[in-house]
Amino acid sequence: MNLLDQFVLSKTQVVGVHAELKRHAPPDQVIHAKVELKLSPQDRHSEEVQGEHQIGIEAQVLGFCGSEASADRMDIFSIEVKRLANYRQFQGQAVDFATFSEHHASLARQIYPLVHGQMMDLLRQLGLGHVNLPIDLAHAESSALSGFPHAAGHQVH
């Protein structure tokens, strides 16, 4: 089920931002960026609005030189962005929280561009405007939509 067929993003809220430049990269080094996006449906029993659900968003980017798993790896920067996104149902049969939670991965392709823009702004502020992050999550979405829930209650996209 693609939730974007029945839900519209009604609002987002920045909850936290942390950006840290750990060291300057040598000018001849390539900076690699590892991006992780976690979406966690938020159960809001006490304040539940009919047809509205919320997703917690946690995005992390780690920038490094060298190879990721070797001793020559040199960490350059880290960025963490936390947001909340509210989705309102605009058509179809009412979708309960359990169903929304089961299919929330389908929202990643809409949420990631919002977070991507914010992370790129932070990179420019750190003087790292030349670092490029992936634009799309297409390669990760198919595995995220496979229907296997993540043990921690959220899925990594």
pLDDT truncated to tens, each residue of the chain (157 aa)? Answer: 899 899 999 999 999 999 999 998 878 888 999 999 999 999 876 555 678 999 999 999 999 998 777 788 899 999 999 999 999 999 989 999 999 999 999 998 899 999 999 999 999 999 998 888 887 655 444 334 333 333 333 333 3
Residue 156 within a domain: no
Residue 92 within a domain: yes
Q: What's the confidence (pLDDT) of residue 143?
A: 39
The residues, ordered by sequence, that sit 6+ positions from 21 with a Cβ below 8 Å of its Cβ are 76, 77, 126, 127, 128
Domain of 107: which CATH number?
A: 3.10.420.10
- End-to-end distance of the chain based on CA atoms, in angstroms? 17
Q: What's the confidence (pLDDT) of residue 135?
A: 79
Are residues 36 and 137 in contact, defined by beta-carbon separation less than 8 angstroms?
no
Are residues 156 and 150 in contact, defined by beta-carbon separation less than 8 angstroms?
yes
Number of compact structural domains in the chain: 1
Residue 85 within a domain: yes
Q: What's the confidence (pLDDT) of residue 109?
A: 86
Residue 81 within a domain: yes
Residue 155 within a domain: no
Range of the domain at 117: 3-146
Residue 93 within a domain: yes
Report angle CA 142, 144, 149 to the nearest 5 degrees.
145
Helices (H), the chain: 97-102, 108-125, 138-144
Are residues 134 and 31 in contact, defined by beta-carbon separation less than 8 angstroms?
no
Residue 153 within a domain: no
